[in-house]
Amino acid sequence: MNLLKRISFILIAVLIMTACAALAGDDKDAEKRAEIDAMADDTLKELFAANTGAKDLYAKAYGHAVFDNLKIAIGISGGGGSGVAVAKAGERTYMKMGTGGIGFGLGGQKYQVIFLFQTEDAFRSFVDKGWQADASAQAAAGEAGTGAVATFKNGVAFYQMTEEGLMASADITGTKYWKNDDLNK
């Protein structure tokens, strides 16, 4: 009987530790979601202050997505980040992004990308498929900048805001956006 009590005690202790670990993971996920939401809100405020046309498009949009990214280039480029896609109705989908390219590149750059989606179809396509491929040529030397877009093109308006960084590159870059399974539980 004594052995049965010990085994029961050990099983209960393991269950309690497992539950505590799961709760701690939930707290960590909630904290990460709050950080992403705060970054997205701050980025939108900064965009609207710098570009009044963006605020007008935002008012007409079905939804938006905001990503915080870091790109490093040393001959080849690569980077990643996280963000959130938000429908006007309030639905939030937390996402990740990764980028890689080949070509000339040297330096690093931290930047935010903002997408405004004109229609539900454009929003759903981005959230569910999430792929964008592009070619880019850019130069940033420690200056903040906002890409200027005045209208929706194919249902999407795109803005890029740079933070301090030093990057000179001309590359063909592929970027992939996908759902963050850990944060969308």
Q: Global pTM? A: 0.75
**Phi-psi category of 93—alpha, beta or left, where left has phi over 0 and alpha has psi -120 to 50?**
beta
Identify the three-state secondary structure at position 112: strand
Interval 165-169 mean pLDDT: 49
| pLDDT tens digits for range 89-143 | 999 999 999 988 776 667 788 889 899 999 999 999 999 987 665 544 444 444 4
What is the C-alpha to C-alpha distance for residues 155 and 61, in angstroms, rounded to an integer? 9
- Judge contact between 8 and 52, C-beta under 8 A: no
pLDDT of residue 147: 54
Q: Where are the domains of the chain?
A: 44-179
CB neighbour class for 63 (10 Å; exposed up to 12, middle 13-18, buried from 19): buried
AA letter at 87: A
pLDDT of residue 142: 42
| pLDDT tens digits for range 18-65 | 433 443 456 789 999 999 999 999 999 999 998 888 999 999 999 999
Within the chain, strands assigned E span 63-87, 92-117, 131-141, 145-146, 156-179
